Structure 1
Amino acid sequence: MSDTSGSQTNITDGQQVQLLERVSVAVVTTLPCCVFLFINVTMLFTLRSKPVFCETSRYVLLYNLLFADTVQMALGHLLYLFAACRLFLTYPVCGLLILLACFTTTIAPLTLLVMSLERYVAVCYPLRHTTIITIRNTGVAIVVIWAFSSLNILTRVLLLLEFPFKDLESLQMKEFCSGVYVLLGPRSKDYDRAFICVLFVSAGVAISFSYFGVIIAARSASTDKASARKALNTLLLHLVQLCLILSSTMFDPLFMALSGILTRIVFVRLYRVLYIFISLFPRCLCSLIYGIRDQTIRPVLMQHLCCGFLKPAVSNSK
C-alpha cells in the first residue's frame, strides 16, 4: 500500500511540475507578445488619428503592413500557446488558423514591394509622383494585394480537398498545429515552396531595383540629395524587413528538422528563445523603427504610447 501511495504521489508531483512549467512558459512568452501587440495597436491607432496619415500614400501602405503584421503576431502566438500547453486541435480548426496566418504573411512582402516602388517614383520621378502615387491608386494596389493573397488561400484550399480525409482514423491531430502538418499532400508542399520562392524573390527584386534606381538617380545634379539618402535608408529597411519575414516563414520547418536532432529539453528552451526573436520581435520592430525615424509619426506615437502624458511637439516635416 505504501509503495502504491508513494508512486501515486510521485505521479501527482510530476503532473504538477509539468503544469507549472507550461503555465510559466505561457506567461514568459505572452508578456513580450502583449507588449509588442500594444505597440503595434498604438501605431495603428496613430496612423488613423490625423488626416495627414490617411491622405498620404506611404502612411496608408504602412498601415496595411502593420495591420498584417499585428494579425500575424496574434495568430502565431495563439498557435504557440496551443503547442506549449499541449493542446491538439482538429484538422479543420488548425487548417483555418494556418490559412489565416498564410493570408497575412502574403500581404506583408507584397506591401513592402509597393512601398519600395513608391519611394522609387518619389525620387526618380518627383514631378510625376503626385499624379502616379495617389490615394486612389494606393487603394487599388492594396485591393490587388488582398485579392492576390485571397487567391493563394483559395489555391491552398483546393489542394487540401484532394487529400483523402476519409482514410484518417480521426480528424483529431496527433501533433501540435503547424503549417508543416497541414500540408497534407505532395502537391500542397510543392505549391507552398514554389509560392514562397516566387513571392520573396519578386519582392527582393523589386526592392533591389528600387534601391539601385535611387542610387543612379542620386548621382544626378537635379536630384534632391537629402531626399535620395532618406529613400535609400527606407529601402534598406524594407530589405531587412523582407529578410525577417522570410526567416519567420522558415521557423516551423527549421524546428521540425531540429526536433529530430536535439534533446527535448534543449529543443524546448531553444524554441522559446528563438520564437521571441524570430517570430515575435521582427513583427514589432518595423513599427518601432518607422515610428521613431519618421518626424511626423514620432510625436503623435510617443503621446499615445505614454497615454497622453506627453504633449506632441509641433512638426512641419512629413
Structure 2
Amino acid sequence: MSNGSQSQMNIAVGVGFLERVMLCTVFTSPCCMLVFINATMLFTLRSKSVFRETSRYILLYNLLFADTVLLVQGQLMYIMATCRITMSYPVCGVLTMLANLTTVISPLTLVVMCLERYVAVCYPLRHATIITVRNTGLAITVIWTVSSLSILTRVLLLLNFPFEDLQSLQMKRFCGKESMLIDPMSDLYDRSFTSLLFASAGVAVICSYIGVMVAARSASTDKASAHKARNTLLLHLAQLGLSLSSTIYNPILVAIFKVLDRIIFARVQIVLYLLIIIFPRCLSCLIYGIRDQTIRPILMYNLCCQRTRSISVSVIPAKAKISTCITSWTNIILNKMC
C-alpha cells in the first residue's frame, strides 16, 4: 500500500484545497468501506468455534488481517500526504517496514491456502491428518518469520546509509516506499526479493491448480469439490497477479504523469488506485464472504443486525435471515415500549 503513497503526492501538490478535499474523499470512501467489511469479516471469523478450529478459516483470518493493516496504514499515509505533512526518516521507516511486512505476508498466505485446497482435493483421506490446526499455526509462524527476516534485512541495509551526513532527519518529500530506498543495495534487494517472492508464489499456485485439474478427472474424486477448488485457485491466482501489479503502480504513474495533463492524470490515478490497490484487498471478502456457504449468512447477519441475537453456524436462507432480523428488532422495540 505504501507503493501508492509516494506517487499520490503528485495530486496533493499543485492542486487547490477544494480539489484535494474532493480527491481525498474519492480515495478514502471505498477504502473505509472495505476496512469496515474486512473488520466485520475478522470479527465473524473469531465469533464461532468452527472458524477458529478450521485451517482454511485460520489462514483466511491471517490474510484479511494483513490486508486490513495494509489498507489502514496506506490510507493514513495518503491522508498525511494530502494534508502536506512530512515525517522524519525514522517514523517513515517504521511505517514503510510495516507495509513491507504485510505485503509479504499476503502472497505467502495465498500459497498456503492454495496448498490446503490441493491437499483437500487430491488427498481427501489424509487431509484431516495433514491440515491440522497445529500445522496451520506452524505455517503461519513460518510466514511471519520469513516476512520479519525480510524486514530485518531491509533495516540492516538502511543502517549502511550515512544519515549523520544529512543536515536534518526531517524528510523533504512525502513518506513512501521509494523514499526509503536511499541506498542502491536497498533498491536492488527490494527488486530481487519481490521478483523471487511473486515468481515462487505464482509457480506454487499454478502447480496446485494443475494438480487439482488432474485430480478432477479421476473417477474417485468428488467432482463438485474439485470444481469449486479449481475456481478458488483461479481467483487466488488473479488475486496474486493483482497484488503483483501493485509493485509497478508507481512506475505506471510516473510514465503517465509525463504525458497527461494534471487534472486528467488525477482522474486516471483514481481509477488505477481503485483497480490496483483497493480491488485486490477486497477479493478475499468476495471469494469467501460471498461464495462460502458457511461464512456468508453469518457475515451478512453481522453486517446487518449483529446485536439482535446469536445465530447458529448452520446455513440460513436469505428470507429466513431477514425475517429473524425484523422479528428481533420488533421484539426489542415492543419491550422498550412496555
Above 0.5 in TM-score? yes
**Which amino acid is the alignment partner of residue 186 of structure 2?**
S
| 8 Å CA contact retained: 1:180, 1:252 | no
Worse-superposed segment, 305-314 or 32-41: 305-314
Shift of 1:312: 5.9
Letter in 2 for 1:156: R
2:213 aligned with 1:215: yes
5 Å-filtered alignment, 1:41-120, equals: 41-120=39-118
Q: In structure 2, what is the equivalent of residue 198 of structure 1?
A: 196
- Take 1:290 and 1:136, find their aligned partners in 2: how far apart are those partners? 22
Question: Which 10-residue stretch deviates more, 277-286 or 99-108?
Answer: 277-286
Determine if contact 1:159/1:188 at 8 Å carries over to the other structure.
yes
- Residue matched to 2:10: none
**SS of aligned partner of 2:186:** helix
Higher mean Cα deviation, 224-233 or 28-37? 28-37
Q: Which whole-Å CA distance do the structure 2 matches of 1:113 and 1:81 have between them?
A: 32
1:251 Cα offset (Å)? 1.7
After superposition, the C-alpha distances for 1:128-180 in whole angstroms (9 at most, x for unaligned) are 11111000000000000000000000000000011111232322222221111
Per-residue CA distance 1:247-290 (angstroms, 9 max, x = gap): 12222333234334433333333223322232123212321331
Q: TM-score, normalised by structure 2?
A: 0.84
State the percentage of identical aligned residues: 64
Secondary structure at the aligned position of 2:172 is classed as: coil
Equivalence for 1:3: none
CA distance in 2, matches of 1:99, 1:259: 27
* SS in structure 1 of the partner of residue 305 of structure 2: coil
Q: How has the CA–CA distance of structure 1 residues 281 and 255 changed in structure 2, closer, same or farther, with 3 Å as cutoff?
A: same
Q: TM-score, normalised by structure 1?
A: 0.89
Aligned 1:124-273 pairs, distance under 5 A: 124-273=122-271
Q: What does the per-residue CA deviation read over 1:70-123, in whole Å, with 9 as the maximum and x for residues that have no partner?
A: 001111111211222222222211111111000000000000000111111111
Cα distance in structure 2, aligned partners of 1:53 and 1:286: 15
Q: CA deviation at 1:310?
A: 9.8
Mean CA deviation greater in 278-287 or 141-150:
278-287
Q: CA deviation at 1:181?
A: 1.8
- Would the alpha carbon gap of residues 179 and 77 (structure 1) be closer, same or farther in structure 2, given more than 3 Å must change? same
> Any conservation in 1 of the 2:110–2:236 contact (CA below 8 Å)?
yes
CA distance in 1, matches of 2:34, 2:165: 42
Q: CA deviation at 1:193?
A: 0.5
> What CA distance in whole angstroms lies between the structure 1 residues aligned with 2:213 and 2:225?
11
The 1-side partners of 2:73 and 2:249 are apart by 14
Q: Given residue 23 of structure 1, which amino acid in structure 2 is its aligned partner? A: V
Tell me which amino acid in the other structure corresponds to 2:285.
S
Q: Report the equivalent of 1:6.
A: none
Runs of 4 or more above 4 Å deviation: 309-313
Of 296, 305, 312 in structure 2, the residue corresponding to residue 298 of structure 1 is 296
Q: Separation in 2 of the partners of 1:288 and 1:59?
A: 14
Structure 1 unaligned residues grouped into runs of 5+: 1-16
Deviations 1:40-68 (A, max 9, x none): 00011111111110111000000000000
Q: Distance in 2 between matches of 1:69 and 1:184?
A: 26
Aligned to 2:19: 21
Q: Using a 3 Å threshold, how does the CA distance of structure 1 residues 90 and 264 change in structure 2: closer, same or farther? A: farther
Distance 1:228 1:243 in 2: 22
Distance 1:24 1:116 in 2: 40
Deviates more, 1:20-29 or 1:220-229: 20-29
User: Paired residues, what number?
Assistant: 300
For 1:59, what is the secondary structure of its paired residue? helix
